[in-house]
Amino acid sequence: MIFQKVQSSYEQEQGAAISNVGVTLSVNMPGLESNPSSTKQESGRWDKITTLWAKTDSSKLKRIHPETLEPIGLAEQKDLHPDLDGPLSASHAKSDPKTGDLYNYNISFTPQPTYRVFRVSSATGETTILATFHATPAYLHSLFLTEDYVIVSVWNSHISPQELTKGSIVPALQPFDPSKPAKWYVVDRKYGKGLIATYDSRAFFCFHSTNAWQEPSPTDPSKTDIVAECVLFETSDVLFRLYYELLVSSSVEAQQSSKRHFSDSKITRFRLPWVPDTPISENQTATVDWAASETPPLELPTLNPTYLTRPHRYTYAVVGRGKSTFLDGIMKFDSKTKKALFWDEHAQSPGEPIFVVDPKGETEDSGVLLSVVLDGMTGRSYLLCLDAKDLTELGRAQVDGPIGFGFHGQHVPIRGVPTGDF
Ligand SMILES: [Fe+2]
């Protein structure tokens, strides 16, 4: 799965049918509705989906049919705004939970590595560049969003742009250097102030941000801190461990590697203290509030999406506890007690747990988790439904064959508005 994310990050121009774009999905993504290859309006449940776009860690987007999933066409971020002409971006954009506005970044390399953080308005489809700054180019799979800010954390998966011409981002990755700080670029998204502050933190690597929010600073409640949660890796070694050949091989080398796939991953909360009201140029310092060191290796963190940009308590993820060659369980982590619950069954490998909110629920964990699980005994997959409170099984829907790993999912409700990117 992550191999595909990495491998598909940079590629030659190809047709929609064979273009490898498919890590995340955007339902009714703003800004590209006028694409000429529009989808025929369907009746019934599909009328909630006007457009469906697949994304990857590049500026390329692939439109697919919401029912048949057939590829329809390709677009690029420069179709949103002509200045978004660099090759790299995040698979995981972030959507404002109230407005539906979409946020992401674009990295270009000429004449020097440049990040452009942008917003696509859900109301107008207009794309606005919120900040342009020069920084070390890096492989960044996700970013952070709070009520007032977009935060791009340039963690330590730095890349050499010259090496990208080889068709994959992996050869361009630079060795992990713990002496280089990770950089956090805080961009105002409400008042047009642009890049407002830069923070340095300990070196680390990450695929997935979970959530971020603003809160009064514990050291001075008149000031505002940003808290950002992600799944932290101590180094970027994971990028070199997840080669497909190792994932599917039964060799001793592969088995040893599989035990270490996510071996140093931890749910971690960073704190960016005292966000200034006006832009400042002096580097600030971000610190680690806590890291969940007692949990097993994990990845694909999710949460109740209605808690985006505000403090959440529960994080869900897939875990690898050494019971299979890859992933073998689903975890619910309580950030208040630091305790975890698990779902697992022998030889069952689950995919991303997608949180579906109970519209009548009153607590953060009122809802269900949906996960596509591969049954290693039968070679077939099923959609598993768990109670998000206690991870008890509510049901499963079996299919006749395997469903490939490799994709994030989206749940589209029959009633209500589909959730945006997160
Ligand atoms: Fe991802």
Best CA proximity match to 138, nearest among 110, 165, 115: 115
| Helix (H/G/I), strand (E/B), else coil: 232 | strand
DSSP designation for 16: T
Higher-confidence position of 36 and 266:
266
Rounded distance from Cα 219 to ligand 1 centre (Å): 34
As a whole number, mean pLDDT of residues 201-216 equals: 98
Q: What is the distance in A from the centroid of ligand 1 to the CA of 90?
A: 9
Query: What is the 356 CA–ligand 1 centroid distance (Å)?
Result: 18
The CA 35 to ligand 1 mean position distance, Å, reads 26
CA 409 to centroid of ligand 1, rounded, Å: 10
379: pLDDT strictly greater than 90: yes
- Alpha carbon of 1 to ligand 1 centroid (Å): 9
Residue 211 Cα, ligand 1 centroid: separation in angstroms? Answer: 14
Distance 209 CA to ligand 1 centre (A): 9
Q: Report the pLDDT value the prediction gives residue 15, as an integer from 0 to 100.
A: 67
For ligand 1, the distance from its centroid to the CA atom of residue 408, given in whole angstroms, is: 7
The CA 53 to ligand 1 mean position distance, Å, reads: 15
* 406 CA distance to ligand 1 middle (Å): 9
pLDDT tops 90 at residue 281: yes
| 139-154: b (≥16 Cβ within 10 Å) or e | bbbbbbbbebbbbbbb
Question: Ligand 1 centre from 299 Cα, in Å?
Answer: 9
235-239, 278-282, 384-388: the lowest-pLDDT one: 235-239
Residue 367 region by backbone torsions, left for phi larger than 0, else alpha for psi between -120 and 50, else beta: left
In this structure, are residues 69 and 404 in contact, taking their beta carbons and an 8 Å threshold? no
- Ligand 1: centre distance to CA 142 (Å): 7
pLDDT at 42 over 50: no
pLDDT higher than threshold 70 for residue 237: yes
What is the CA(116)–ligand 1 centre distance, in A? 21
Q: 33 and 50 in contact (C-beta within 8 Å)?
A: yes
Average pLDDT on 30-40 reads 58
What's the gap in Å between 29 CA and the centre of ligand 1?
17
pLDDT at 385 over 80: yes
Q: Give the per-residue SS3 of 332-358.
A: EEECCCCEEEEECCCCEEECCCEEEEC
Least confident of 32-41, 253-262, 307-316, 317-326: 32-41
Distance CA 49, CA 64 (A): 11
